Amino acid sequence: MPADSVSTHLYPAGMLNTLSRHEVERLHDASRGDLAGLVKRCALAVLNSGNQGDNADTLMEAYRDFRIEVQQVNRGLRLELINAPGSAFVDGRIIEGIRELLSAVIRDLVHFDSEISARLSDDPEDTSGITNAVFEMLRNAGALLPAVDPDLVVCWGGHSISRTEYNYTKKCGYELGLRRLDIITGCGPGAMKGPMKGATIAHAKQRVAPGRYIGISEPGIIAAESPNPIVNELVIMPDIEKRLEAFVRLGHGMIVFPGGVGTAEEILYLIGILLNPANAEMPVPMIMTGPKESAAYFEQIDNFIRLALGEQACRCYQIIIGDPPQVAQRMARGMETVRQFRVETHDAFYFNWMLEIEKIFQIPFRPNHENMAALEISRDLPIHELAANLRRAFSGIVAGNVKPDGLRAIREHGNFEIQGERKIMRSLDELLTAFVADNRMKLPGNSAYKPCYRLLA
């Protein structure tokens, strides 16, 4: 147990006022599922907010004596923390932002467990049911603001990026904030923190109060990408597929900064959806950008997409190198295009109901050895299916890199094997090799990266 650990009790933030007796019982009864375990892992990640690290097992081992208990008292709820990370406290009192994030964790995990999980289990392939679940999670979290014009920019990018790249993400966030645009990211460090940090200064200058810095995570990734301290709205989705759908339903435009396999997964997810003919008229501005030092990175990504998915896929995005004001200007114009489209089609500003997302992008993919080996990667497939399978391949590598279940599978059974068409696998190998060489697979200062995959052609 670390020497700085703290044991105390506190009342949750206003977003979590009450729970039913049934919900509290489920939090204490391990025989009813893994809700208590999920709350513990996600709560520990939030309490570790701001600390560098990308290994969930390492964090759990360091604080193996940590416990959190939700108690019903006469004032509503009280949280009992035992052996929590001391960095979450100042002079014995929890940092207010962390108290809010901790409350959001319990709110979201309990809501999914009690209100949504059983319904999805009855028909796990009901696409409209999955979209409704995403909507309900965002609504319950207070993330849907119906009276606001489109202004949410999703910023994707890696948690392990260079200082030059990080500073660039801050400059882009600053330019977005000057145009009164708000930020959504995966809530972690690196390219997920930089845009928020830049936007806070610009929002202060423009007297935008409060600015929205929305972080969307899921239980398998949150410990590897603990929420950065700027996040003021945290939403925990139940799995990666619903997390990705939340990004594209809630956000109005996408900016992609340099990253690793997780960023590649996000790119392929969105491109695969936009390649659906049903979405041909849908305006979803997507800009890939970075400093001039990152030009080769985007050239590699672009080359891989062209080889695997063709020229049509490349029309889904534009690449801007080294020009934050231009990025923000084009995104601001994109917001107006989105607004006009939603007005003409009578769609909501706050949730993109019209975006068609096929089942192959919604059904949770379990990245185990059998499923990874069974992925079909060939240009003989319909283009959206190939994009979906490539997305799943990258998702499996993310799991093998940082998620507890994936780390355990690699330890017990060795590396995942991914096989497919020779040209695609050769290009994929070049891309992943570049990620490793550029330290995009792990945070700098951690142990050297050991691949969790083997590519077969």
CATH class (in words) of the domain with range 126-457: alpha beta
Residue 238: name the closest of 350, 124, 351 by CA: 124
Query: Is pLDDT at 171 greater than 90 in this prediction?
Result: yes
CATH number of 6-122: 3.30.1850.10
The arithmetic mean of pLDDT across residues 326-352, rounded, is: 97
Neighbours of 30 (CB within 10 A): 11
Distances from the Cα of 15 to the Cα of 104, 311, 363, angstroms: 7, 46, 30
Distances from the Cα of 419 to the Cα of 34, 361, 373, angstroms: 33, 20, 7
Contact 178, 206 (CB under 8 A): yes
Question: Of all helices (H) and strands (E), which one includes residue 216?
Answer: strand 213-217
Q: What is the pLDDT of residues 369-384, one digit of tens each?
A: 999 999 999 999 999 8
One DSSP character per residue, 124-143 reads TT-HHHHHHHHHHHHHHTT-
The arithmetic mean of pLDDT across residues 29-55, rounded, is: 77
Res 73: pLDDT? 85
**Quick one: tokens of 407?**
């780390």
Q: 3-state DSSP call for residue 167?
A: helix
Res 61: pLDDT? 79
Query: Is pLDDT at 245 greater than 80 in this prediction?
Result: yes
Res 76: pLDDT? 81
Res 64: pLDDT? 85
Pinpoint the residues of the chain covered by CATH 3.40.50.450.
Answer: 126-457
Q: What is the pLDDT of residues 263-313, one digit of tens each?
A: 999 999 999 999 999 999 999 999 999 999 999 999 999 999 999 999 999
Q: What residues contact 120, with CB distance under 8 A and at least 6 apart? A: 126, 129, 130, 133
**Quick one: tokens of 189?**
């460090």
**Quick one: tokens of 392?**
């799943």
Question: Of all helices (H) and strands (E), which one includes residue 69?
Answer: strand 67-73
Residue 102: name the closest of 87, 90, 88 by CA: 88
Pinpoint the residues of the chain covered by CATH 3.30.1850.10.
Answer: 6-122
Q: Lowest mean pLDDT: which of 63-77, 106-120, 311-325, 437-451? A: 437-451
Q: Lowest mean pLDDT: which of 112-116, 124-128, 261-265, 429-433? A: 124-128
Beta strands in 146-197 (DSSP E): 152-156, 182-185
User: 56-65, 122-131, 256-265: which has the highest mean pLDDT?
Assistant: 256-265
% of the chain beyond a pLDDT of 90: 70
Q: How confident is the model at residue 51 (pLDDT cuts 50, 70, 90)?
A: low
Contact 379, 31 (CB under 8 A): no
Contact 37, 101 (CB under 8 A): no
Res 30: pLDDT? 56
